[in-house]
Amino acid sequence: MKVLCDVIAVDVTCFSGRAYFWAPELVGVVFFNGAEAEQGRYYDVIIEDADSYNLYGRTEDYAE
């Protein structure tokens, strides 16, 4: 899924953003892990989990 990176976490491997089809005022967020990311850029994120509002995933190049 294409995700626009909005926030970079302190540990610099966890990021959050929104899916390309979500408006900024919606509640849901996509949290994802990646080797690196920049605010304002789109990333292809593999979704691995979800809860009532949020999606969780990783970029293809991220290795735990």
Ramachandran region of residue 12, left (φ > 0), alpha (ψ -120 to 50) or beta? left
Confidence of residue 64 (pLDDT cuts 50, 70, 90): low
User: What is the reported pLDDT for 12?
Assistant: 58
Tell me the pLDDT tens digit for each residue of 6-61: 888 766 568 988 887 877 677 788 999 988 888 899 999 999 999 988 999 999 88
CA-to-CA dists, residue 56 to 4, 6, 34, 53, angstroms: 14, 15, 12, 10
Task: Please tell me the distance from the alpha carbon of residue 64 to that of residue 42, in angstroms, as a whole number.
Answer: 21
